[in-house]
Amino acid sequence: MFDIHIEEFFLDCTKILKQIYQAFPKNSNVYVEDISGPDQADEYGLHSDRFQCCFGAMLWLEKEGFISFESTMKQEAIDQANLSSKGLKLMSSICYDEYMNNITDTIHPKKEGLKGRPNIDSLKHIMKHGTSSQLALAVQYLIQKYT
């Protein structure tokens, strides 16, 4: 449904938000390799497109106000990252939303009790058992809802 780079972008956003959410309210460092997988810089010190896109997702989440951080560590990580109030709402709001519940209801194995649970629970279930397109639809929807 989506181009592969867009599905990877939404997967990266989910992993970044999840990692920061799990450390909340403590600040944490988020390393690109932890999100996108290992990467070796080439002879000029440049990382792969996949690695650079993941770093770009971190910068985009900050620009859009979902996270904050003190600085970047080259293009390797973001330092002292935390969720903004908007990011916390996106991840912790209780999911009574029909659109989100329709997505999670189509995933097998079906997990009972996602209705009335925080959005993070739905996103984790989709990441584990759903498709990249289902995750992209869910994250896209939530980003639009909380923007």
Of residues 53 and 108, more confidently modeled: 53
- pLDDT reading at 141 higher than 90: yes
For 96, the domain range is 90-145
Output the pLDDT for position 38.
Answer: 93
pTM of the model: 0.93
**Measured between alpha carbons, how far is 140 from 119 in angstroms, rounded to an integer?**
13
Output the pLDDT for position 113.
Answer: 60
Residue 4 belongs to a domain = no
Block residue for tokens 């009972």: 112
Residue 120 belongs to a domain = yes
Residue 123 belongs to a domain = yes
Contact call for residues 100 and 119 (beta carbons, < 8 A): yes
Query: Helix (H, G, I), strand (E, B), or coil: what is residue 131?
Result: coil
65 and 30 share one domain: yes
Output the pLDDT for position 111.
Answer: 72
**Helix, strand, coil percent content, the chain, rounded in steps of 5:** 55, 10, 35
Nearest 5°: phi and psi at 97? -75, 125
